[in-house]
């Protein structure tokens, strides 16, 4: 029996939400807005990451509680807030959380209040913690990941087959609980036809010479993105491609200042200030122009569980150099070179292959927001029948 959507109320526990602008928030913003359009009632508990954000906000059928500033430490207050919400609102049927921080309290709350739980799992680092963290802090993160899985959920929504298999192989989660639903990609927005030639010409005249070969990186500076590998390759890239310019659009994060300092140091050593340009943030519309101007996008990720940059670059049919790791082969299409194993040498050789048009095109892949959202709604109804 299909549950009427008009009677469905859902509690979301999310580390961050709009106006925080990263890929996971984008996924849940699409989902929640669509559910609201179908008259679902949504309660959202998230972090108050900026002082100017309201602690309580209600707009139509969406109620938002923002508690604590730092998501790693608002765990307990978050839990108390959720208990109060569930105690007052008996109509909430499902608790939907997202890895990492919110999945443990969501599991406990579901048991305490006899609710169904859905956990969206974006990443399982497993042995990668060894590459990402010092020895002692690594143990803490490994323990937290173990706890995240040991506190059970009714359904695990996996954003890629790689994530699903990580849960299946490493943590022995039953196949009955595992559901593969890819994230959506806004193909209507990430479309070269939406960028005017005059806009591209204006940007090239403003920032670069029109005849420069533009090699671009855009995203944050976390170790998982393997931007260090690209930074190490800068001298060889510029030596082998004297007509090129390296462009970095780096989202502010913990490592961003460190990476920017490294890039500036290399630029100074090579006397190549006119060959390297760093941007710290663009609006979504300006980022699309930035991508449209690029001759090649380099995204040498160490780990990806869907790959937002990769799928967006492919949607714009940009030449892409990336790693043959994790979920990346699942989402990329078009003019793509998959490095195996990734290295400075591979990056430089891949650039030359692209410039020589020595590249095979991968058949097009599209990831629809409608498909993603309809499949998540199916999970809700499946749980309640």
Map out the domains of the chain with their CATH numbers.
5-184+368-383 (3.40.50.2000), 192-362 (3.40.50.2000)
Taking Cα atoms as reference points, which of 97, 317, 75, 102 lies closest to residue 192? 317
**Per-residue model confidence as pLDDT tens digits over 128-166:** 878 788 877 888 888 888 888 889 999 999 999 999 999
pLDDT at 100: 81
**Calpha distance 271→276 (Å, rounded):** 10
Contacts of 370-377 spanning 24+ positions with Cβ under 8 A:
370/184, 371/182, 371/184, 372/27, 372/30, 372/31, 372/181, 372/182, 372/183, 372/184, 373/30, 373/31, 373/34, 373/35, 373/184, 375/179, 375/181, 376/31, 376/118, 376/157, 376/181, 377/5, 377/35, 377/38
Mean local confidence (pLDDT), 275-304: 93
CA angle, corner 66, sides to 63 and 70, nearest 5?
Answer: 155
For position 72, what pLDDT does the model report? 60
pLDDT for 1: 43
> Is 181 or 127 the better-scoring residue by pLDDT?
181
Chain centre distance of CA 350: 25
Do 14 and 99 contact (CB within 8 A), yes or no? no
- Which residues are bridge partners to 59 per DSSP? 62
Higher pLDDT, 39 or 64: 64
Is residue 365 within 8 Å of 183, Cβ to Cβ? Answer: no
- Per the document, the length of the chain is 385
As beta bridge partners, residue 158 has 121, 180
Taking the C-alpha atoms of residue 47 and residue 1, their distance in angstroms, rounded to an integer, is 36
**Whether residue 7 has pLDDT greater than 70:** no
- For residue 133, the model assigns a pLDDT of 80
**pLDDT for the residue 71:** 60
Specify the DSSP class assigned to residue 58.
E
Taking the CA atoms of 230, 246, 219 and 337 in sequence, report the sign of the dihedral they define.
Answer: negative
- As a whole number, the mean pLDDT across the chain is 91
Q: What is the average per-residue pLDDT within 78-85?
A: 87
Residue 291 CA, chain-centre distance (Å), reads 17
- Beta strands per DSSP E along 274-373: 276-279, 296-299, 319-323, 334-339, 361-362
DSSP 8-state secondary structure symbol assigned to residue 159: S
Would you state the pLDDT for residue 206? 86
Residue pLDDT, tens place only, 192-212 = 999 999 999 999 888 887 778
> E strands within 220-341?
244-250, 276-279, 296-299, 319-323, 334-339
User: CA 365, CA 292: separation in Å to the nearest integer?
Assistant: 19
Distance, CA of 106 to CA of 13 (rounded, Å): 7
Sign of CA dihedral 165, 229, 24, 288: negative
71 close to 45: Cβ distance less than 8 angstroms = no
pLDDT over threshold 90, residue 99 = no
How many H-runs (helices) and E-runs (strands) does the chain carry? 14, 15
Q: How far apart are CA 357 and CA 375, in angstroms?
A: 39
Residue 247, C-beta contacts closer than 8 angstroms, at least 6 positions apart: 208, 214, 215, 216, 217, 277, 279, 290, 294
> Is residue 6 over pLDDT 70?
no
């Amino acid at each position: 029996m299909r549950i009427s959507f008009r009677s469905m109320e859902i509690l979301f526990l999310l580390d961050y939400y709009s106006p925080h602008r990263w890929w996971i928030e984008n996924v849940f913003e699409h989902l929640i807005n669509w559910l609201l359009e179908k008259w679902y009632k949504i309660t959202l508990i998230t972090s108050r990451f900026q002082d100017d954000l309201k602690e309580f906000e209600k707009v139509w059928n969406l109620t938002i509680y923002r508690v604590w500033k730092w998501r790693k430490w608002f765990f307990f207050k978050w839990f108390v807030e959720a208990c109060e919400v569930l105690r007052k609102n008996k109509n909430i049927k499902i608790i939907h959380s997202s890895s990492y921080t919110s999945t443990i309290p969501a599991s406990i709350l579901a048991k305490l209040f006899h609710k169904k739980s859905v956990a969206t799992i974006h990443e399982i680092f497993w042995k990668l913690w060894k590459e990402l963290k010092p020895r002692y802090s690594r143990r803490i993160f490994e323990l937290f990941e173990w706890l995240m899985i040991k506190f059970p959920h009714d359904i695990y929504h996996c954003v890629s087959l790689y994530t699903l298999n990580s849960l299946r192989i490493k943590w022995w989660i039953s196949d009955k609980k595992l559901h593969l639903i890819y994230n959506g990609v806004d193909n209507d927005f990430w479309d070269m036809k939406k960028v005017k030639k005059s806009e591209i010409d204006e940007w090239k005249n403003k920032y670069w010479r029109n005849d420069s070969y533009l090699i671009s990186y855009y995203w944050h500076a976390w170790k998982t993105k393997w931007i260090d590998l690209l930074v190490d390759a800068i001298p060889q890239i510029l030596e082998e491609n004297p007509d090129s310019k390296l462009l970095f659009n780096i989202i502010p994060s913990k490592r961003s200042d460190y990476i920017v300092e490294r890039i500036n140091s290399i630029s100074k050593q090579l006397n190549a200030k006119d060959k390297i340009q760093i941007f710290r943030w663009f609006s979504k519309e300006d980022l699309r122009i930035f991508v449209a101007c690029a001759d090649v996008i380099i995204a040498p990720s160490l780990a990806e569980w869907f790959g937002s940059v990769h799928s967006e670059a492919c949607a714009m049919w940009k030449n892409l150099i990336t790693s043959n790791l994790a979920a990346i082969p699942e989402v990329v299409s078009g003019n793509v070179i998959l490095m195996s194993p990734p290295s400075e040498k591979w990056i430089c050789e891949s650039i030359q292959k692209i410039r020589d048009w020595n590249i095979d095109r991968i058949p097009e892949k599209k990831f629809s927001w409608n498909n993603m959202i309809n499949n998540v709604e199916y999970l809700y109804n499946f749980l309640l029948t």
